[in-house]
Amino acid sequence: MLNQVEKVVLGTMDIEDENVIINALKNGYEIIDSAEEYQNEKIIGRAIKHYLNETHHERTDLIIATKISAHSVEKNQTKKVVYQALENLQLDYLDIVLLHHPSLNFEATIKAYQELLTLKKAGLIRTVGVSNFDKDMIKLLYAKTGCYPEINQIEFSPFNQRWDRI
């Protein structure tokens, strides 16, 4: 479980060049934030492998996060997406896995969350959380599973200011 994340995070949406990631890592970035929807996990995996081989840093020096799309949650593909991410990223475990957005089918969201918790118990995920969930959704997840998300990643930018979620 991560107690606190006080580092600069490299968001990888729209990154198509592994050199961008390698250079970011060489310049102090320690957290790579990816997502199934970005469709670039293979590029990220090659970049991480290159960086670790070139610099002799350890895998434990990095925090690798990915997110499961609501579409995959609705299609009951949570475990499949996690295993695919592990393969694409060339990793034995993921530090953080989040549900990217709440699904309109909240029962599917609860099931996906439970599957992530199972994968955490199996050692494939270190931290399970959500992204862009409202307080009531988090309370419902807890009521159904007995486990609060360890992270609620909230988009907050000049173009999207959700003060109700902060």
Show which residues are catalytic.
Answer: 38
Q: What are phi and psi of 30, to 5 degrees?
A: -125, -5
Residue 90 DSSP code: T
Query: What is the DSSP track for 98-163?
Result: EESS--SSHHHHHHHHHHHHHHHHTTSEEEEEEES--HHHHHHHHHHHS---S-EE--EETTEE-T
User: What residues pair up with 2 in beta bridges, in sequence order?
Assistant: none
